[in-house]
Amino acid sequence: MSGIAADADYDYIIRLIQYLDRQFNIRFFISSRDFDILYRWWQKGIPLEVVQRALATVVERRQAKGKPISGFAAFSYEVKKAYRSFLSLQVGRPPDSGEPNELAQWQEFLTRLPDELRPLESEFSACLEALTNQRRPDPEPWQRLLLEAFATDDELNRKSQFFLQSLNPELRRPEIERKYRLNFLLHRFRIPLS
């Protein structure tokens, strides 16, 4: 698996784990089976929004019945059903041009740049400049500096530790921890993805 693919799949998987935690305060041990389920959703190209809506539906249903959620298998049927529905809505539809404009997202982000991120302003501005010149920005420099800047952040370290402990030991790899930490910071500061 290439580095880009690994980043994309880890990003997808960690975003879904973090979504359950942030939105519903649901945390459970992530087994190899759970990881495989999430990975299959990524491989099929199921959009995050579709999966998140399915997760929310199942959580609401389970909470109403007082049933706990202890793994991603509980969501499989609803994700499959939601994806089929999504695909049927896409048949014959022209490609969606309604995706958020990345350039506008970066412009807006830089106008509200949090004080904690001021030391990284030039790296963020380089992303905006690349987008303005219709080039793909390289996120690696600012992502590396962002992780370094928050290496001692108590909340991030606590959440990362808890996340790693909730993973099957064979899944506790540095690249997964890095992706978790990065996604946590992206969400905390509402940094656009590039």
Q: Over its length of 194 residues, how does the chain's per-residue pLDDT go in tens digits?
A: 334 344 677 888 889 999 999 999 998 888 888 988 998 898 888 999 999 999 999 999 999 999 999 999 999 999 999 988 887 776 555 545 444 588 888 888 999 999 999 999 999 999 889 888 888 888 889 999 999 999 999 999 998 998 888 888 888 889 889 989 998 998 889 898 75
Q: pTM, whole model, 2 decimals? A: 0.69
Place of tokens 């350039």: 103
**Is 120 in the same domain as 154?**
yes
In angstroms, the CA 185 to CA 160 distance is 11
Helix 32-44 × helix 76-90 angle, to 10°: 0
Domain enclosing residue 149, as ranges: 102-189
Close Cβ partners of 15 (under 8 Å, ≥ 6 residues apart): 48, 183
Q: How many domains does the chain have?
A: 2
Q: Is residue 137 in a domain?
A: yes
Q: Is residue 140 in a domain?
A: yes
**Is 112 in the same domain as 82?**
no
Q: Is residue 194 in a domain?
A: no
In angstroms, the CA 24 to CA 52 distance is 11
In angstroms, the CA 26 to CA 74 distance is 13
Q: Is residue 96 in a domain?
A: no
